[in-house]
């Protein structure tokens, strides 16, 4: 799911789009006591371990229907983003691949955190007395089983093994056309794992 504008997030609320494997809503971003920080790290790492997704802060959910957004409740504290980045950097291994976006709107801002799956293996929260793996399953974030952790490492290993084959198939990296110095940048889209 790609969210770029305030109006797109409003559309999630207006259309009552429920949480799912790749989207989660939170009313607030609480980074106070260690237990709150650990919960945020669990949610972010779980999205990444579930294949990637987006967490939207500043959305109130229906108390009677779990996971259904009912209103935008913009955040006020602009210092949250820096604290979040610091906590993520010191708490999750391998480093969490994430992109944060701030959407300005009436009364404050919404914080969107898009998390990508790790090419190195599953994300582990290593902080606050925890060393655990979580995964997003449906609209919940749950602990990973031992088998899920093993499988995630195997898939990451297979992807690394196939990297050279993919470069060859696409004739990359490009060879220099002249003997003069030049720079090339090559990239491939992520290929689905078999």
What are the tens digits of pLDDT across the range 63-111? 999 999 999 999 999 999 999 999 999 999 999 999 999 999 999 999 9
Q: Which residue has the higher pLDDT, 36 or 159?
A: 36
* Cβ neighbours around 154 below 10 Å, total: 12
Angstrom distances, CA of residue 166 to CA of 97, 133, 155, 194: 22, 30, 16, 14
What does the alpha-carbon distance between residue 163 and residue 151 come to, in Å, rounded to a whole number?
19
Evaluate if residue 128 carries a pLDDT over 90. no
What are the tens digits of pLDDT across the range 176-185? 677 777 676 6
- Give CB contacts under 8 A, 24+ apart, made by 140-148: 141/24, 141/42, 141/43, 141/46, 141/47, 141/50, 142/46, 144/49, 148/122
Give the pLDDT band (50/70/90) at residue 194: very low
Residue (of 122, 117, 119) closest to 145 by Cα position: 122
Q: What is the pLDDT of residue 181?
A: 76
Evaluate if residue 186 carries a pLDDT over 70. no
Model confidence pTM above 0.85: no
What does the alpha-carbon distance between residue 78 and residue 108 come to, in Å, rounded to a whole number?
9
Q: Domains in the chain, ordered, with CATH?
A: 6-148 (3.30.950.30)
Token digits of residue 189: 């889209």
Residue (of 100, 116, 133, 99) closest to 47 by Cα position: 116
What are the tens digits of pLDDT across the range 153-177? 998 888 777 667 766 776 776 676 7
Q: What is the pLDDT of residue 162?
A: 65
Please provide the DSSP assignment of 37-58 as one string. HHHHHHHHHHHHHTT-EEEEES
Report, as an integer, the average pLDDT of 7-12: 97
Report, as an integer, the average pLDDT of 9-16: 97
What does the alpha-carbon distance between residue 152 and residue 121 come to, in Å, rounded to a whole number?
6
Report, as an integer, the average pLDDT of 116-128: 93
Please provide the DSSP assignment of 89-111 as one string. HHHEESPP-EEEEEEEETTEEEE
Q: What mean pLDDT value characterizes the chain?
A: 90
Is 141 strand, coil or helix? strand
- Give CB contacts under 8 A, 24+ apart, made by 14-17: 16/68, 16/69, 16/70, 17/69
What does the alpha-carbon distance between residue 131 and residue 29 come to, in Å, rounded to a whole number?
22
Give the pLDDT band (50/70/90) at residue 193: very low
Residue (of 1, 4, 3, 88) closest to 42 by Cα position: 88
């Amino acid at each position: 799911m790609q969210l770029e504008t305030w109006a797109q997030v409003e559309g999630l609320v207006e259309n009552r789009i429920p949480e799912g494997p790749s989207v989660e809503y939170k009313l607030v971003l609480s980074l106070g006591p260690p237990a709150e920080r650990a919960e945020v790290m669990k949610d972010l790492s779980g999205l990444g371990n579930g294949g990637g997704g987006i967490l939207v802060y500043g959305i109130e959910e229906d108390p009677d229907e779990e996971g259904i957004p009912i209103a935008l409740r913009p955040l006020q504290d602009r210092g949250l983003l820096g604290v979040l980045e610091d906590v993520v950097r010191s708490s999750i291994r391998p480093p969490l691949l994430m992109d944060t976006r701030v959407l300005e709107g009436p009364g404050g801002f919404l914080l969107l955190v898009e998390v990508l799956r790790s090419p190195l293996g599953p994300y582990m929260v290593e902080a606050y007395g925890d060393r655990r793996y979580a995964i997003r399953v449906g609209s919940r974030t749950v602990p990973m089983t031992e088998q899920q952790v093993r499988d995630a490492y195997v898939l990451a290993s297979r992807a690394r093994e196939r990297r050279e084959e993919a470069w060859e198939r696409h004739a990359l990296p490009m060879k220099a056309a002249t003997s003069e110095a030049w720079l090339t940048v090559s990239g491939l889209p992520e290929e689905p794992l078999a």
